[in-house]
Amino acid sequence: MSLRQTPFHARHVASGGRMVAFAGFDMPVQYAGLREEHVATRTGAGLFDVSHMGEVRVRGPRAEDALSWLLSNAIRRLDPGQAQYNAMCNERGGVVDDVFVYRLAADDFLVCVNAANRDKDFAWMRAHDQAGADLEDQGDAWAQLAIQGPKAVAIVDRLVPFDAESVPRHHFRVDTFAGIADCIVARTGYTGEDGFEVFLPVGPGIEAVWDEVLRAGTPEGIVPVGLGARDTLRLEVRNALYGHELTDETSPLQAGLGWIVKLGKPGGFLGAEAVAARKATDPEKLVGMVIEGKRIAREGMPVLLDGERVGTVTSGTFGPSVERAVCLAYVRNDLAVAGRRLTIDVRGREATGVVVDGSFLAQ
């Protein structure tokens, strides 16, 4: 199967990007080096091509009803110009996908979905939209760049005709970005840093936007950042990644996403009853652990207590900013307590993980 390319593919290759297959796309995993890209994003700014992400346009007089049923958060409270994180659940209370919803107008939404779930999500939404909204897979119509880091807003400010700083967190403007009209310029992100995610309509000349952003950010030392650092950045701030912390089997409450699950919202949502019922029955919940010593816990490694299996690591890495190995893991409910020490089986050798609350960056 041939890999798909984003509009910026030639730029990645020209910048020395090391390309890997990800969700059917040929994507850069790193350029100059993962650690350097990670640190640049934490201290200055990083530019990410996230055009592989999928988009579903939901329009029409029943669009709000449709999304309020399909998604877990308070869709009806979203004003035009606002963005909101949501879980899309199945009848078993598992997570079909975690998505970001952008309300463009009263009857017009853009739903940003994970690249690997694009086909699954669109089929799911079509099959389970009881309200009768107009659903369109617009994954090929949008490119997406993320500009993230403490200096990102200053850089974006040079590329838009409005005051970038005036856009509140989780709000967006539809406007010209680097000469491309009708972009969605959103104060959102996945890295734990301030910044923007920009949806650009795919069209002639769009690839030059990559160069424009790098040029605009030269004073701040902006660097292109690959998928490798995107993962370490999100993991340090404990943002969930679909397929790891979230799956068709995990409930959003197990994963610690109670803040986006509105069980009592008017009309309910698909899967709400199962999500509520699972509160009493799910045996495990997601925790963050800091690893003592130098070993690195990785996805799939068993978590043990006194030799007994009590959980599984879902993501793990060395955190370049935390400067320690950190991981996320599902563990038995009674062990999901800050300060609890657990053993991780690292390929037959033991490492000790200590459960912590909150972002690893705050430890």
Give the binding site for another protein (CB under 8 A): 29-30, 33-35, 228, 231-232, 294-296, 298, 317-318, 320, 325, 347, 349
| Alpha carbon distance 9, 61 (integer Å) | 38
| Alpha carbon distance 197, 193 (integer Å) | 12
Q: In the chain, what is the greatest distance between 2 CA atoms, to the nearest angstrom?
A: 61
Q: Which is nearer to another protein, 36 or 207 (CB)?
A: 36
Burial group, residue 308, by CB count within 10 angstroms (0-12, 13-18, 19+):
exposed
Tell me the sheet residues that pair with 27.
20
**Cβ 185 to another protein shortest distance, Å:** 31
Q: Which is nearer to another protein, 235 or 310 (CB)?
A: 235
Beta-strand pair 54-59/46-49: unpaired
Q: Which residue type is seen at 202?
A: V
**Cβ 318 to another protein shortest distance, Å:** 4
Q: Which is nearer to another protein, 72 or 239 (CB)?
A: 239
**Cβ 231 to another protein shortest distance, Å:** 8
| Alpha carbon distance 335, 343 (integer Å) | 12
Cβ neighbours of residue 53 closer than 8 Å, sequence gap 6 or more: 112, 113, 114, 115, 139, 144
**Cβ 321 to another protein shortest distance, Å:** 11
| Alpha carbon distance 280, 288 (integer Å) | 22
**Cβ 350 to another protein shortest distance, Å:** 12
**Cβ 22 to another protein shortest distance, Å:** 13
**Cβ 338 to another protein shortest distance, Å:** 25
Write the DSSP symbol of residue 65.
Answer: H
Residue 235, φ and ψ in degrees, nearest 5: -70, -40
Residue 51, φ and ψ in degrees, nearest 5: -65, -15
**Cβ 155 to another protein shortest distance, Å:** 26
Q: What is the DSSP string of 256-272?
A: T-GGG--TTSTT--TTH
Q: Which is nearer to another protein, 173 or 295 (CB)?
A: 295
Q: Which is nearer to another protein, 94 or 228 (CB)?
A: 228
**Cβ 35 to another protein shortest distance, Å:** 5
The number of residues in the chain equals: 363
Q: Which is nearer to another protein, 198 or 237 (CB)?
A: 237
Q: Which is nearer to another protein, 170 or 298 (CB)?
A: 298
Q: What is the DSSP string of 156-189?
A: HHTTSSS-GGGS-TTBEEEEEETTEEEEEEES--
Q: Which is nearer to another protein, 60 or 243 (CB)?
A: 243
Q: Which is nearer to another protein, 25 or 100 (CB)?
A: 25
| Alpha carbon distance 215, 159 (integer Å) | 10
Closest CA to 356 of 249, 256, 231: 256
